[in-house]
Structure 1
């Protein structure tokens, strides 16, 4: 089964990646790193995944101005006018609004899938099938479609989606509720209930309906773009965004649109998924060695160690004894050692504290 020319992909690659600090740094975040030493960065692997079944000319990348050269260097296949470089960091709602406007300038009948650039997919064949089914659904329905995975563990670091009534097509259900990062007890209840799915962050809609939703819930984001008669070319749009993008709110698509809409669906997917944006997520999704340790592209001698995740620079040797359940990560001028359990909040707190006390050179 092949994709139609109306199917488009937007890769979101503008984040700072601070949840994987210190390996991911503001000046060189995780999506541009060959984190596992496989020869391709997370951004490149995301592009490769979609290019297998979608026209390369229909793949767009949203990033930050400070990362533009990384995108150009790592994805030379992507044309310059398919890269949207934001002048200031904002969350996903303004980014998606810009992508919708850019693509609809070329094809008002576009069907979109929006994807993060820091995920791992374990079954590419099932992924392709689920994505194509989802794109067909949003082509035929004015709806917002998320992609959900049945939880395999009580993971407090993920978002969750509660399914409601089943639609007339496949394993697609009306969404009853969203919950972001529940505590472990609720995550256990969600997993056992069979009603909740992990929110993969993959999101589909036809462009016309998505623009309508953005107008309804975030009118100040799109109205300024489309009220002007000046924008008729990519160059004019880029100039307009450079001037106006900083005025847009720092708000996520999930919070700004999905959680406010009554017409959101979730597809139960079976492609196998992991969020590679957090240390704990990587640990849970990666094959483990002796003692259930995960050693990522690093030179390590371990003794009496278990349940750790270790990531070091190429020129380092670590000798570790008696450590259980820790993150050990070093990059440049920072060594980070932290309990692995529920580490996402701790990483965020330490990054903020380090930036305040020690300055930007350490984040």
Structure 2
């Protein structure tokens, strides 16, 4: 079994959360919001979940300098050198490269799970068991291990992983293919085949191998290794990142590493999962009331309406009549009403328009 003090976690919390606009705003995105009024934000819930079985001193949070104070405020027990604040927004590959570099220098025997901060986990006991199984596997194999969930519906908003041959351990298979956000027909085929799993965006590796993989696609990161060779200095590393990070490519970990490597596996997981990154996925993940409406912490009267997701301020009464398949979301100075199925694409369009025509105060 892996030693507990060799297990690490990196929580990715630097996104702008635009797909949940207008409730999620650029200055205060979704990971810092108690979206469902449960008493803890998405980031805090993710941290709590991992702190149950990974030493707190082994948990790191990757974020943007814009959100550094929010992370400190919401996770006051997290040491400053465990918050990795990027000077400019990039995709997940540079974030993971930096985290892998730091952790392997702290502990060459480390095993690490990389996880987004905005997911819903339905059974945390099974989640812990699956993660520990994965950490055990990567401690013995130089590989990248994704966490897959068997689809419960043909969801076109998720990524999919196709399993290949067995890795020789129960529930772990070589990855045959990745597909990102297929159309509805393909999503149905994937679900019916039994070979495809939802890509949770979480993956595991031992830190040494992960660091080697990241250095292949981000050679500029090698400069950081040279700066920090010998006596490891957090200050030197932070200074290097502040200077060099803007030159890193805007590259996702899926596209940069997982889809190009021959050494990627998938772990069949049974903990139940939902991505909380978009209005449509929140509708699919949450329990529904009368008319299959999802009403989130709102003071609303809903009549003759169905298949909607509604989140409006509790300090005002909202009356909705005759809507079918819409998002109704209000926060501060913006009210959004749009078709649920097209909400992600429409929101991108309207954020750009609003930013140009109305200014930053509305995004």
Q: TM-score, normalised by structure 1?
A: 0.97
Q: CA deviation at 1:341?
A: 1.5
The match for 2:332 is: 332
The match for 1:165 is: 165
CA separation of 1:359/1:3 partners in 2, compared to 1, >3 Å: closer, same or farther?
A: farther
Whole-angstrom CA distance in 2 between matches of 1:236 and 1:218: 19
Contact 1:35–1:41 at 8 Å: present in 2 too? yes
Superposed, which structure 2 residues align to 1:63-78 within 5 Å? 63-78=63-78
Q: CA deviation at 1:101?
A: 1.4
The match for 1:223 is: 222
Q: CA deviation at 1:229?
A: 5.1
The match for 1:274 is: 274
The match for 1:321 is: 321
**DSSP 3-state at the match of 1:268:** strand
**DSSP 3-state at the match of 2:320:** strand
The match for 1:108 is: 108
Contact 1:109–1:206 at 8 Å: present in 2 too? yes
User: Deviations along 1:139-180, whole A, 9 cap, x unmatched?
Assistant: 000000000001111111111111100111110110011111
Whole-angstrom CA distance in 2 between matches of 1:262 and 1:356: 44
* Structure 2: gaps spanning 5 or more residues: none
**DSSP 3-state at the match of 2:147:** strand
Q: CA deviation at 1:244?
A: 1.1
Count how many residue pairs are aligned between Structure 1 and Structure 2.
362
Q: CA deviation at 1:343?
A: 2.5
Q: CA deviation at 1:359?
A: 2.4
Whole-angstrom CA distance in 2 between matches of 1:278 and 1:360: 21
**DSSP 3-state at the match of 2:5:** coil
The match for 2:253 is: 253
Contact 1:60–1:82 at 8 Å: present in 2 too? yes
Whole-angstrom CA distance in 2 between matches of 1:356 and 1:214: 37
Whole-angstrom CA distance in 2 between matches of 1:224 and 1:184: 44
Q: CA deviation at 1:85?
A: 0.5
**DSSP 3-state at the match of 2:24:** coil
Superposed, which structure 2 residues align to 1:276-355 within 5 Å? 276-355=276-355
User: Deviations along 1:160-209, whole A, 9 cap, x unmatched?
Assistant: 11110011111011001111111111111111111110000001000111
Q: CA deviation at 1:109?
A: 1.0
Q: CA deviation at 1:355?
A: 2.0
Superposed, which structure 2 residues align to 1:17-96 within 5 Å? 17-96=17-96
User: Deviations along 1:7-26, whole A, 9 cap, x unmatched?
Assistant: 00000000000011111000
Q: Report the aligned-residue RMSD.
A: 1.4
Q: CA deviation at 1:53?
A: 1.0
* Structure 1: gaps spanning 5 or more residues: none
Q: TM-score, normalised by structure 2?
A: 0.97
The answer to whether the aligner puts 1:182 opposite 2:182 as a matched pair is yes
